[in-house]
A and B are shown apart, each in its own frame.
Chain A
Amino acid sequence: MNSERPALLLARHSVFRGLAAHAVLITYTIIALFPVFVIVINSLKSRRAIFADPLALPGPANFDLVGYVTVLEQGNFFRYFLNSLTVTGASLFFVLLFGAMAAFALSEYRFRGNTLMGLYLALGIMVPIRLGTVAILQMMVASGLVNTLLALILVYTAQGLPLAIFILAEFMRGVSSDLKNAGRIDGLSEYTIFFRLVLPLVRPALATVAVFTLIPIWNDLWFPLILAPSEATKTVTLGAQVFIGQFVTNWNAVLAALSLAIVPVLVLYLIFSRQLIRGITAGAVK
C-alpha cells in the first residue's frame, strides 16, 4: 500500500496535467477556428439571415446557396482558382528546390564566406518583402512581366526562400556525413547524393517548409493586386474582392468565395500534416 502511493499521486498528477493541457489547446482551437466557422455557416445562409443573426446556424428557415451560385456563375471563378493553384504550386516547387539546394551547399561545403552567406540568405526572414513593393513593381514593369503569373511566382519564390533555407540547412546538418561520404566513395555525383540520399531523409522538414510557405502565398492579396490584377491573372483572394463594392457588398458571394478558397489549403495541409508533425517534433522527441 505504501509503495503504491507515490505512483498513484504521480498518475493523478499527470491526469490533471493532461486535462489542463487539453483545456488550453481546445480553447486555443476554438478561438482560432471561430472566424472560419462563422464564414462557413454564413456562406450557407440568405443575405437577410446573415445580418439578422450572424451566429445562427444554417437551418431550413434561412438556408440559401445564393452565394455559391453567384460565385460559380459570375466571373471567372474557376480561372481564379487555377491561377491561385498555378502560382502557389510553382512557387512552392521553386522554394523547395532552390531552398533545399542552397541549404545543402551551406550545410555540406566549406567555402569562404559560408557563414556570411547563410546569414545573408536568412536576413529575408526579418525584412518583409513588401517593403520593396515599389522597386519590385518597377522591375516587373521594366521586364514586361506585369499581369503575368510569372511575376507572382518570382516574388513568392523570393519571399519563401529565406525561411526554407534557414530550416532546411539546420536539418541537413543532421544528415549523417558518413552516408554522404559513402555515396561519394561509391561514385555517386553530388546531385545524386542530394536528390537520392539527402532529400528523402529531410522529407519532414520539407513538409514543414511547404506548409509555412504555402499558406501565406495562397492567402496573399497584396502582390496579386499590385502585380497581376488583370482578369486573366487574378487569384482567388483577389477575385473575391469583386464582390466587395464601395457601396454594396455581396456578402453571400464573398463568404462563399472565401469558404471555397479554404478547401485547397485544407487538402494540402492534410497531405503534409503527418510529415509536418514529425518535422516540428524532430529532435525534441526521439
Chain B
Amino acid sequence: MGALSLGNVTKSFGKNRVIQGVDLQVQDGEFCVFVGPSGCGKSTLLRMIAGLEDVTSGDVVLDGVRINDLAPARRGLAMVFQTYALYPHLTVRDNMGLALKQAGVSRDEIRRATDRAASMLALEPCMDRQPAELSGGQRQRVAIGRAIVRRPKLFLFDEPLSNLDAALRVQTRIEIARLHRDLGATMIYVTHDQVEAMTLADRIVVLRAGRIEQVGPPMELYRNPANTFVAGFIGSPQMNFLRAGPLGLASHTLGVRPEHLALSRESGRITGRISHVEMLGSETLVYVRSDDHGLLTVRLFGQHDYHVDEPVFVTPDDAHTFHFDSEGLRLR
C-alpha cells in the first residue's frame, strides 16, 4: 500500500499554468523528495496530491484508486507543514488524536495510537501541554506525531525543517530518516534545500517552472545530471560552469564541481585572481575571478593560505567534467 502515480497532471491559476504536465511514479515505501527553487511548483504539486488544490487535468492515483475528487481527509494521507500548524487550543495529545476522533475511532484506540507516536518521538513529557508551551523542535515533532498517529498510506512533508535553526534541522532530519526506516511508509518531501534532498531521498525529483527536469536517486543525479539546471542545483557549493571556447573544447559549456578544480600559484589552464577566501577548517573555499569564465569556486580540503587579490591558476580535472550544449543539455 502507498504507491502513488501522477499521470500528466497540470494545474492552472486562471491563465497561468503552474504545473505543466507531470508524470511520476512513487513506489510503495519510497522516500521521494521534490526539490527546486522557489516558485517551481513543488509545493503546489504536493498540495494537489493532498487534495488542498484542485487538479486542473490529469490523474492522481493512490494504490490504484483515482483520488482527484476525494476530500483530503479521505485520501488516507497525512501532511506535515512548514509552520507546524498545530491547533493552538488543543493539548499535544488532542492535536495528535484529532484526526482519529474525527474518523470515529474509539477513545482507547486513540490513546494507544497517540502514546505509541509519543514514545517514537520522545514526546511523553509534553502530552498534556499546549502548543504555545513547546519549543520549535518539539512543535515540529508533535506535527510529525500527528501524521504518524493516522497510519497514513502516504506522508507528505512541506518544507518541515525550514523554520528550525541549523542544529535542530540536522537532528530532525535524522529523526525523519529513522522514522522512514522504522515505518517503511511512502513519503513525499518538498524542500528547496538540496542537502535535505540528498540526505533523505531514495529518489529526487528536480522541478523547474512546473516541469520535471530529472528524476533519480541522489547519487545518480550527482554523477549524471541531465542538464545544467540539475547539475547546478545538486551539489554544494554549486558546480562551476566554464565557457568551453576559451579552453579549446567543442561543447558549449563545461561543468566542473568545485572539488575538481586544481588551484596553483605557478601554472594552470585558466588565469584568475582570488576575490574571496572562506576557511571552514576541514575545507577551504577559494573564489577566483577569471576574465573568461567569471567567478569560479575552488574547494580545497584542509586549510590553505591563500589571500585576496593573489593571482592564481585554475585547472579542471578532465576526468570529472561535464559537457553541455548551448541549450544546457548534457552531451555524453
Contacts and interface: CB of A to CB of B under 8 A. Distances in A.
Given A187-B102, A187-B103, A181 B83 contact: no
Interface in B59-92: 71-74, 77-79, 81-89
A207 to B, nearest CB: 18
A173 B50 CA distance: 21
A53 interface: no
Contact of B83 (A110, A178, A200): A178
B114 to A, nearest CB: 13
Contacts of B71: 184, 187
B73 A178 contact: no
Interface string A142-179: 00000000000000000000000000000000001011
Contact of B85 (A179, A187, A188, A200): A179
Given A200-B88, A201-B88, A181 B81 contact: yes
Nearest to A180: B85
B16 to A, nearest CB: 12
Interface in B89-105: 89, 98-99, 102-103
Contact of B50 (A110, A185, A187, A201): A185
A280 interface: no
B52 interface: yes
Interface in B31-51: 47, 50-51
Contact of B99 (A186, A196, A200, A201): A186
A201 B99 CA distance: 21
B185 to A, nearest CB: 15
Nearest to B158: A178
Contacts of A185: 50-52, 72-73, 77-79, 99
Contact of A178 (B51, B77, B82, B98): B82
A197 interface: yes
B110 to A, nearest CB: 13
B188 to A, nearest CB: 14
Contacts of A242: none
A181 to B, nearest CB: 5
Contacts of B47: 181
B103 A182 contact: no
A102 B65 CA distance: 36
B77 A197 contact: no
Interface in A185-229: 185-188, 196-197, 200-201
Interface in A55-91: none
24 contacts: A176-B85, A178-B82, A179-B83, A179-B86, A181-B47, A181-B50, A181-B52, A181-B79, A182-B79, A182-B86, A182-B87, A183-B87, A184-B71, A184-B72, A185-B79, A186-B102, A187-B73, A187-B74, A187-B99, A187-B102, A187-B103, A188-B73, A188-B102, A201-B88
B284 to A, nearest CB: 39
A178 B85 contact: yes
Closest 4 interchain pairs by CB?
A: A187-B73, A187-B102, A178-B85, A178-B81
A200 to B, nearest CB: 6
A176 B83 contact: yes
Contacts of B82: 178
A184 B52 contact: yes
Q: By CB atoms of chain B within 10 A, which of A110, A176, A181, A185 has the most?
A: A185
Chain B: interface size category: 20 to 34
A187 B73 CA distance: 5
Interface of B: 13, 47, 50-52, 71-74, 77-79, 81-89, 98-99, 102-103, 146, 158
A201 B85 CA distance: 13
A181 B49 CA distance: 13
Contacts of A187: 71, 73-74, 99, 102-103
A176 B139 CA distance: 15
B57 to A, nearest CB: 17
Contacts of A178: 81-85, 158
A160 to B, nearest CB: 27
A190 B89 CA distance: 17
A183 B82 CA distance: 15
Contacts of A186: 73, 98-99, 102, 146
Q: By CB atoms of chain A within 10 A, which of B77, B81, B82, B103 has the most?
A: B81
Contact of A182 (B13, B51, B85, B89): B85
Nearest to B87: A197
A188 to B, nearest CB: 6
A206 to B, nearest CB: 15
Contacts of B50: 181, 185
B87 A179 contact: yes
B103 to A, nearest CB: 6
A201 B158 CA distance: 23
Contacts of B146: 182, 186
Nearest to B152: A185
A181 B85 contact: yes
A110 B53 CA distance: 11
A179 to B, nearest CB: 5
Q: By CB atoms of chain B within 10 A, which of A181, A182, A184 has the most?
A: A182
A186 B75 CA distance: 11
A32 to B, nearest CB: 37
Contacts of B88: 200-201
Q: By CB atoms of chain B within 10 A, which of A110, A183, A200 has the most?
A: A183
B50 to A, nearest CB: 6
